Structure 1
Amino acid sequence: MDRVVLLTGATSGIGREAARKLAERGATVLFTGRDREAGADVLSAVRAAAPESGGEFYPVDFADFDAVRELARTVRTEYDRLDALVNNAGTSRSERRTTEDGVELTFAVNHLAPFLLTNLLAPRLRASAPARVVTTSSALHENGSLSDLDAVVRGEEFDALDAYADSKLANVLFTRELADRLAGTGVTANCVHPGWIPGTRLVRNATGFSRLFTSAASLVASVAPVGPFESVSGAADALVSLATSDEVADVSGAYFDRRERASPAAAVNDEELRTRLWRRSAELVGLPASVPEGDPLR
Structure 2
Amino acid sequence: MSVIKREANNLSFRQCSLTQYSLFRSLQVNHLSTMLLTLLLLPAIRRTTASTWAPRIILLTSEVHYWADLPERTAPNILTTLNNSTAWGTANRYRVTKLFNVLFVQELARRLARSPLLGDRSIVVSSVNPGLTNTNIGVGSLSFIVKKLLFGRSAERSAITSVYVATAPEVAKLTPYGRYYSNCMAEEAADLTLGVEGEELAGRLW
After TM superposition, the score normalised by the length of structure 2 is 0.80
Moved over 6 A (4+): none
Contact (CA 8 Å) 1:111, 1:170: kept in 2 or not? yes
Rounded Cα–Cα distance in structure 2 between residues aligned with 1:276 and 1:157: 22
Task: Give distance in 1, aligned partners of 2:184 and 2:136.
Answer: 20
Conservation of the 8 A alpha-carbon contact between 1:188 and 1:250: no
Residue in structure 1 matching 2:164, options 238, 241, 249: 241
Secondary structure (helix, strand or coil) at the match of 2:186 reads strand
Q: 1:138 aligns with which of 46, 50, 62?
A: 62
Which residue does 1:99 correspond to in 2?
19
Distance 1:159-1:131 versus aligned 2 partners, 3 A rule: same
Question: Contact between 1:83 and 1:125, CA under 8 Å: does it hold in 2?
Answer: yes
Contact map agreement 2:109 2:178 (CA 8 A) in 1: yes
1:132 alignment partner AA:
R
1:160 alignment counterpart = 90
Distance 1:166 1:220 in 2: 25
How much is the aligned-residue C-alpha RMSD, in angstroms? 2.1
Partner letter of residue 249 of structure 1? A
Gaps of 5+ in 1: 1-81, 222-228, 279-298
Distance 1:117 1:185, change over 3 A: farther
Identity of aligned residues (%): 28
SS at structure 1 position matched to 2:56: strand
Aligned 8 A contact 2:12 2:140 in 1: no
Query: Does structure 1 retain, via aligned residues, the 8 Å contact 2:9–2:137?
Result: no
Shift of 1:246: 1.7
Deviations 1:158-204 (A, max 9, x none): 42211110100000000111111111541111001111113453474
Cα distance in structure 2, aligned partners of 1:156 and 1:180: 33
Aligned length: 184
For structure 2, the 5+ residue unaligned runs are 73-77, 114-119
**RCO (CA 8 Å, sep 6+): is it higher in 1 or 2?**
2
| Greater Cα radius of gyration, structure 1 or 2 | 1
The question of 1:231 aligning with 2:151 is answered no
Distance 1:196 1:121, change over 3 A: same
Give the Cα separation in 2 of the matches to 1:194 and 1:126: 26
Name the CA distance, whole Å, in 1 between partners of 2:150 and 2:132. Answer: 12
1:260-280 Cα offsets, whole Å, 9 max, x none, are: 2111111012122111100xx
What is the aligned partner in structure 1 of residue 182 from structure 2? 257
Residues in 2 aligned to 1:102 and 1:185: alpha-carbon distance in whole angstroms: 40
Q: TM-score, normalised to structure 1's length?
A: 0.57
